[in-house]
Structure 1
């Protein structure tokens, strides 16, 4: 049966005539008449609740719509007879009869208790909430990142780039909620093209497609796919609204998060997290996902998650898991008094902020953990939660390291001479064996201008226009400080090598036949450089740059074999 119809019928239970006082007096006809009167207001209210609110039909969520109806019902049951009795008392000087009010008043008290209990009950279940993430505590470092997969494009720049390609479609669509995901082992920001408002939906009915912004390459062209007809969208109305469409078939779950994802063939899908509460109204656990085709509306529930799906664990649930794990380590009262061993997720503008990053085997929710003190800008640890499996690892080996706010603050101070420049959301990586914040630097219009690398332990900052330059300077700094580059990391990170014949040489400048867009500046203290002439075969190691003149990091004249 349609979920909205079931919700309507269940909600309608709340408008049962509570004036059972009449039953005790044998006034059955009067009671049924009162029930019909209740249905006059109950049917439209229940229809609105079912169609607009769409409550999850599971316990205790179902209490809410029934409770709304019962609260209205109680007030009607109490107020209407009081008006009648007031007339009777004035005319006939009788004492008021309050017996008929016992049941509705009792129901109101019960509803009030349920309302008050919603935030209170979990406070007596903090041990359960703390254990819910099944966290593993580790003293290891996260695995080193492949530098070719570092996320350089922050969400603000992704929106900026996506907006630029709307172009001729701007009269009817806008960029929808953008999310980051792995597609064929590459990071992209993906957003549906949503219809702007009700009138545009009424006219155009369907969305033409979506946009893909490369999250690893800031220079990559944005892909706009606009030859589709997406019917089921957030911006659609009535039966084509994606939430209502899914709810009609799956009303017995909490539909927690709707993410627009692409499968490995870049076919668009809606991925919906289906969850249930385990601690009264909270303590959610994911039961599976519902995958919906936005073109046809076909949908299927999956407990065994397809490999291409990234977002199974909702972002909000990850935030809650991190808070429960860190804050409730010694129970609720510990959070108010001694705060022993307590740590909490770091916040952005006072709000817990987890963000999706690439991990060793998929996407992870990352957040730092700090002490409860609002003034603390250092880490006590950090967590990585697999967005598909929910595997939760807390890394505790970073006490005193710079947290997100501190890293961004240091990066901002490095570009303070550039008006309007600011650090966007930092991403935490293991670079060359050292824990490092990668901070994209944006201008006031959210365009990417620089990439900053912040050493998490010391706060040292390197800022360059492109990532490869920052990587090379950062690695040089580490080596100067005596930090040995860990085995398994890329020694040549940021460098490129070219071989070719010398086309032109003038003092310390060389142009190659197969790379004449650059002039390479060589070090003349190198003996091979000093005897090099035109048509010699050489090999040059350098950092890719948009500049015309590039410094050669290493130079080798292949015509000679000097030791």
Structure 2
């Protein structure tokens, strides 16, 4: 009766084992082929077949048959019912079961070596909350089931014990699926946990967001930074033949400037073999404001990088040094002295086995020396900018937007359900803004129905994880991009993903316009609430001035407010010299005045009227006080960006001519366009 119960309880599971491992249907209690008589032994059982519950042992002639016949009565009474209707073990299982003890020892050693080598190469985190390590656990569990069934085949004496031990790895598999289920948002209490992983508070746009400072605004996107970095790399031939630029291009705030930085990597395996002793000699730095790129040579070379294939591979090095840490997306950063570091956020699961990911610690690895530092996330040095990866922050906010009012509401009623705005390719859409010492992730927020309007935007400090939501209803980023591209549709420029800036208290989208070669040609500013009106210019200062004039014209700002926000000064005098230059495909006229050492930049086509003037002409114009980081107050020879001019009297060759007007300049620009 007891044996019958064992078979009944294990029939369903044995079918699963048969499909997984090729075993025939033998219950955990009955063994793998069972015993046919009282002459049991400890060696392998050379089973040929099981037919109607009767075993035939391999042998020769009638002696074996007779021997089986003489004991057939007792064997049938004891075991016949137990084997009746059972399938024979698979041929592979039979062959493995007949291996010698030495073969099994050799196999065990080989598997152990393979396991250690696999761990070293793939270096999964030794943490039960890591999906990667569970793949190994499941493989080991299934291998254990296979091993126990083979052991039951080999030892009739202990077959019942081995068959019952199969439940241990089977329970591990069941535990895995329960852990996955435990983290689902429909489980009781989980929706609230998801909604509070990222604590977002409401902010006041006019108070929290500082007036725009163009010395800190990134005017190019990542693709343009990559293009500039490749150009800088091409200027150093000895590096081009041996190294490439890593695709990392981390956005950081370095010495008060928003920059993207990326290390060099070995061009291929042979280049690594040739240069591994010297290491990687430099990294690429791209200023996101001035668009200047340089290859920075290091006194101490980078020896821990992504392109190292063996022990100095940065991912393997960090994981083996901290085997239980679950690392998130790393970034490449610089401290204030220019020393390169790898920044590894350490994940923490807060819901179920695998869900509710956040960051609890940060590990810093010196890219040159391999020195490591381990900090709680709230204690990381101020120069670290990316303790929280961008994609993780977007995911966390989307959790709060979806589950703030419960899981059921996220599917049915969807009241108040919001998400971050998607990018132009349907993926995550976000950008970065530098404020103070930190980098802030920016993304718009829209309803889950994915319409063309936004309900506001979020700014999240990537070092501290502090998150604020600003209620600024208006157009989504892709709508603003389409509007800006439509303004210059004859030029076929493409808009970059916009930033949201505070321009004279107005929430304003700011973006660059690039040509087909990826070069920035113009800039655009669009009021979030009135995105049909677009101000463009060939320089940031000219774009700002045009935008303020537009706000004054439509009544959003008064004339005095627009003038006060222009941050400009006036200059006048006679032209001492005038010269033309083409920079990145755009024409510029550079003018100096008599008695003034400053150089004034008239960028075309905005300042097209300058083509009328010659040396000796009197001119009056306005220029930006600070142009993309230049301090005009302290440097008399600084280049100053002209924003508008007019009301002048030409005096070439000592003869006065008619007074020109801004309207004439505007008509010239329109004719040229």
**Cα drift, residue 402 of structure 1:** 1.0
1:434 aligns with 2:503: no
Name the counterpart of 2:245.
Answer: 175
Q: Distance in 2 between matches of 1:428 and 1:519?
A: 27
Structure 1 distance, partners of 2:520, 2:569, is 23
Larger RCO (CA under 8 A, 6+ residues apart): 1
Q: Is the 8 A contact 2:506 2:527 kept in 1?
A: yes
1:334 equivalent to 2:378? Answer no
Separation of aligned partners in 2, 1:56 and 1:534: 74
Distance 1:352 1:535, change over 3 A: closer
Query: 1:166-205 to 2 correspondence within 5 Å?
Result: 166-167=233-234, 168=237, 169-176=239-246, 177-205=248-276
The C-alpha deviation readout for 1:253-304, integer Å capped at 9, x for no partner, is 1111221111111111111112221212121232222121111111111222
Q: Tell me how far apart the structure 1 counterparts of residues 381 and 561 of structure 2 sit (CA, whole Å).
A: 31
TM-score using structure 2 length: 0.67
- What's the counterpart of residue 224 of structure 2? 157
For residues 640 and 136 of structure 2, the distance between their equivalents in structure 1, rounded to whole angstroms, comes to 64
The match for 2:490 is 417
- 1:514 lines up with 2:607 in the alignment: no
1:461 equivalent in structure 2: 534
Does the aligned pair in 2 maintain the 1:174–1:196 contact within 8 Å? yes
Aligned residue number for residue 8 of structure 1: none
- Match of residue 112, structure 2, among 15, 18, 43: 43
Q: Which structure has the bigger radius of gyration?
A: 2
CA shift for structure 1 position 493 = 3.8
Give distance in 1, aligned partners of 2:456 and 2:392: 19
1:148 to 215, 219, 233: 215
Following TM superposition, by how much is the alpha carbon of 1:228 offset from its aligned partner in structure 2, in angstroms?
A: 4.2
- For the 8 Å contact 2:500–2:509, the answer to whether it is kept is yes
Q: Distance in 2 between matches of 1:21 and 1:300?
A: 56
| Cα shift at 1:226 | 5.4
Q: How does 1:87-126 map to 2 (within 5 A)?
A: 101=163, 103-104=165-166, 107-108=169-170, 110-111=172-173, 114-115=176-177, 117-118=179-180, 121-123=183-185, 124=187, 125-126=190-191
CA distances 1:392-448 after superposition (whole Å, capped 9, x unpaired): 1122x223x1111111111122222124x2112211111121111111111222211
1:345 aligned residue (404, 407, 420): 420
Residue 307 of structure 1 is aligned with which of 382, 386, 395?
Answer: 382
Shift of 1:60: 2.4
Question: Which residue is equivalent to 2:657?
Answer: none
Aligned Cα RMSD in Å? 4.1
1:64 Cα deviation from its structure 2 partner: 3.9
Change (3 A) 1:232 1:339: same
Following superposition, the deviation at residue 391 of structure 1 comes to: 0.7
- What secondary structure, in the 3-state scheme, does the structure 1 residue paired with 2:502 have? strand
Deviates more, 1:140-149 or 1:108-117: 108-117
Equivalences, count: 507
How far apart in 2 are the matches of 1:354 and 1:112? 39
Local SS of the residue matching 2:169: helix
Pairwise CA distance, 1:227: 5.2
Alignment check: 8 A CA contact 1:209 1:230 kept: yes
1:481-522 alpha-carbon deviations (Å, 9 max, x no partner)? 2223799999354635446666599xxx9953536966999x
- CA distance in 1 between counterparts of 2:297 and 2:567 reads 32
Of 189, 192, 195, which aligns to 1:127? 192
Q: Does the 8 Å CA contact 1:381/1:398 hold for their aligned counterparts?
A: yes
User: In 1, are the aligned partners of 2:622 and 2:642 still within 8 Å (CA)?
Assistant: no
Query: 5 Å matches for 1:426-505?
Result: 426-459=498-531, 460-484=533-557, 491=564, 493=566, 495=568, 497-498=570-571, 503=576
User: Secondary structure at 2:138's aligned position in 1?
Assistant: helix
Q: 1:120 to 1:491 in 2, by over 3 A?
A: farther
Give me the whole-angstrom Cα distance separating, in 1, the residues matched to 2:128 and 2:252: 33
Q: Deviations for 1:39-64, whole angstroms, at most 9, x for unmatched residues?
A: 24531442244113222223322544
Residue 358 of structure 1 is matched in structure 2 by 434
Equivalent in the alignment of 1:394: 469
Asked if 1:250 corresponds to 2:322, the answer is yes
Say which SS state the counterpart of residue 469 (structure 1) adopts.
helix
What is the CA-CA distance between 1:122 and the residue it aligns to? Answer: 3.0
Aligned equivalents of 2:329, 2:550: Cα separation in 1: 43
Q: Classify the secondary structure of the residue corresponding to 1:380.
A: strand
Equivalent position of 2:144 in the other structure: 73
Task: Tell me what 1:7 maps to.
Answer: none
2:645 is matched with which residue?
Answer: 552
Shift of 1:310: 0.7
Cα deviations by residue, 1:222-277 (Å, 9 ceiling, x for unpaired): 34335541100011111110111111221121111221111111111111112221
> Match for 1:298 among 368, 371, 390?
371
Q: Which residue of 2 aligns with 1:231?
A: 303
Matched position secondary structure for 1:239: coil
| SS of 1:302 mapped into structure 2 | strand
Contact 2:263 2:283 survives alignment (8 Å):
yes
SS of 1:256's partner is coil
Structure-2 change in CA distance of 1:223 and 1:116 (3 Å): same
Superposed CA offset, 1:193-226 (max 9, x none): 11123222222112111011111113x3534335
Q: C-alpha distance in 2, partners of 1:504/1:266?
A: 41
- Contact 2:622–2:643 (CA under 8 A) maintained in structure 1: no
SS in 2 for 1:491: helix
Once residues 373 and 260 of structure 1 are traced to their aligned partners in structure 2, the CA distance between those partners, rounded to angstroms, is: 37
Do 1:541 and 1:553's aligned partners in 2 also have CA atoms closer than 8 Å? Answer: no
Structure 1 regions of 5+ residues with no counterpart?
1-18, 89-96, 522-532, 557-563
